[in-house]
Amino acid sequence: MMELAAPSPASFFAVALATALFLVAILRPTRKHNLPPGPRPWPVIGNLNLIGPLPHHSIRDLSARYGPLMSLRFGSFPAVVASSPDMARFFLKTRDLAFIDRPRTAAGKHTTYNYSGLFASPYGAYWRQGRKLWQAECRNLFNARRLASLERVRAEEVRSMLSDLSASAAAAGGGQAVVELREHLYMVNLNVISRMVLGRKYVVDGTGSPVPPEEFRALIDEHFFLNGALNVGDMIPWLGWLDPQGYVKRMKRSAKVFDRFLEHVLDEHNERRRREGEKFIAADMVDVLLELADDPNLEVPIERDDVKGFTLDLIGGGTDTSAVTVEWAISELLRNPKVLAKAIEELERVIGRDRLVGEEDIPNLPYMEAIVKETMRLHPVAPLLTPRLSREDTSVGRYDIPAGTRVLVNVWAVGRDPAVWEAPMEFRPERFVGGGVDVKGQDFELLPFGSGRRMCPGIGLGLKMVHMILANLLHAFAWRLPDGVTAEELSMEETFSLTVPRRVPLQAVAEPNLPAHLYAVL
C-alpha cells in the first residue's frame, strides 16, 4: 500500500497565504466613487431607456434636472455629460489630456480600417503623429501657390452649383424653381474635397470609378448613419456577437465597397508616381499620404490601410458637415426675412451685382460671418461633440470621474441655454456683430468645432466652404418658401446620425437675379 506523504511546512504556508490573499481580495470594501448626480441606472441597460431618437434633447432634459455635470450609464459603461461653458472648459481644456481618448466602437473597427483615421483613433503615438502630420503636410501641400489653385477649385465648384441651380430654375419655367437644396450642397462639398484630397472628381460618370455615382452617394449616407448610430454591441459588449440591430453586418458590407473604391484611387496614384519617377510632385492629399507610407523614419509606420483610413476621414469630415450647416442657415433665413434682407443688403453693398463672391471677400462680410456663427450656435452639426474617454481617475469639485468613463459635451444645450444667451431661441446674428465670441475653441459657450487637442482639424476649410457657399447662394438667387408654406410652418425638426441634419430636406424657390453670364460654367 502506498503511503500519503505528509504536507511539508513550506507548502502548508503557501496554501494558507493564497487563501488569505483570496479572502482579502473578495472581502475588501471596493472604493466607492462619489459620482456626479444622475438618474438611477437599470441593470444591463443602465440609462439607455431614457435616451430617445434625438439623444442631445433627452440628455438636455435630464441635465436640467441633475445639473451641468451629470452621470449616466450607457449599458455597461459609465458616462458623464457636461452642459455648461465651465464644465466644457474643464473637460476640453483644463484636463484635456485626461479626456482625450476615444471609446472603441464597432464602427471605428469595421468602417475606418481598425481605427486608422484620426477621428476614431485612440489616443497614443499613432494619433499624435497623425495630428502632427496633418498640420505639417497641410502647410506643405497648401503652400501659397497651391492655396491659390485650391481656391480656384472651390470657386469653380461653387460656380458649377450656381449654374446647376439656375438651370433648374430655367427648366421650371417662369425663371423660378422649387429646389431641394441638400443634394446640391452635398455635391459641391464632395466635389471640392474630392479634388483636394483625391486629385479629381470621382463621383461623376465616366471616371472609371469601380463605384458608380449613385452607389457612392448611398455609401456615404450609410457610412454617416452607421458611425452615428447607437450600436447596442458598443454599450453592452456581451451582446455584441448577436448584432441585434444588424449594424455590424451593414458596417462590414459598406466597408467592403469603400475599400474597392479606395484601392482603385490608391492604385491610380501609385501608377502616376511610378510613371513620373524623379519628376513626381505630390499634387493632392493621397499623394502626400502615400509618400509618407514609404518614409522609414516615421515614429509609427503608416501602412496602406492607414492611408485609406485617413482618406476616408477627409471625405467624411469634409462633405456632410458644411452641407448640413448651410441647409440650416438657409432654413433660418427663410424664417427670418429681416435677417435675410440685411444679408442681401450687405452683399449688394460690398460685392455689387456684376460678380460672384470670392474667398477674399469673406473678411469684408461681417454680417454673413455673424449669420454663420448664429447658425452654428443653434444647429451645431455634432451637438454632443464626439465621445471622449477618460484615461485616468479624475475629480471635479467633490465628484469623481473614474478612468474609462465616456464624456459627452452637450454644445447644443449650451447654445440654447438662457443662462448663457439672451433670448436663446431667437435667430439674432446681431449678437455676434462687432466681434466678441468666436467658434475657434476659445469661447466655451460656442463650440461647434470642439476645443483642445482633439478639436476639429478641418475648421479652416470647413468655415471657408460654409461662407463661400452660403454667401454665393444668397447673392446669386432670390430665395423664398414654396407657395403655401409659411415661415411659421417650416419644419425645423432634426434627425440624428454622425451629424444632425434637417429631418425633412429643405425645399425652397430659387430665382436667379444676377446677369446670366455669371451662371455659366467657366
Crossing angle for the helix pair 125-141 and 285-293, to the nearest 10 degrees: 130
8-state DSSP, 37? P
CB of 382 to ligand HEM, least distance (A): 4
Residue closer to ligand HEM (CB basis): 80 or 466: 466
Residue closer to ligand HEM (CB basis): 69 or 481: 69
8-state DSSP, 404? T
CB of 413 to ligand HEM, least distance (A): 14
Distance in angstroms (rounded) separating the CA atoms of residues 229 and 220 = 14
Distance in angstroms (rounded) separating the CA atoms of residues 355 and 155 = 12
CB of 300 to ligand HEM, least distance (A): 15
Residue closer to ligand HEM (CB basis): 179 or 382: 382
Q: Which three three-digit cell numbers place residue 422?
A: 439672451
Distance in angstroms (rounded) separating the CA atoms of residues 162 and 166 = 6
CB of 385 to ligand HEM, least distance (A): 4
Residue 138 counted as an annotated binding residue: no
| CB of 122 closer than 8 Å to CB of 115 | yes
**Residue 340: in which H helix or E strand, if any?**
helix 337-350
**CA distances in angstroms from 312 to 3, 110, 385, listed in the order given:** 72, 13, 19
Residue closer to ligand HEM (CB basis): 36 or 462: 462
Which residues would be at the binding site for ligand HEM (CB under 6 A)? 118-119, 131, 313-314, 317-318, 321-322, 325, 381-382, 385-386, 448-450, 454-458, 461-462, 466
Residue closer to ligand HEM (CB basis): 55 or 458: 458
Residue closer to ligand HEM (CB basis): 169 or 463: 463
Q: Which three three-digit cell numbers place residue 280?
A: 513626381
| CB of 330 closer than 8 Å to CB of 506 | yes
Nearest one of 480, 520, 126, 506 to 356, comparing CA atoms: 520
- Say if residue 345 is exposed, middle or buried (CB neighbours under 10 Å; 0-12, 13-18, 19+): exposed
Nearest one of 238, 256, 240 to 248, comparing CA atoms: 240
CB of 449 to ligand HEM, least distance (A): 5
CB of 330 to ligand HEM, least distance (A): 15
CB of 169 to ligand HEM, least distance (A): 27
Residue closer to ligand HEM (CB basis): 161 or 382: 382
Q: Which three three-digit cell numbers place residue 195?
A: 479634388
Strand partners, 512: 477
Binding residues for heme: 456
Binding residues: 456
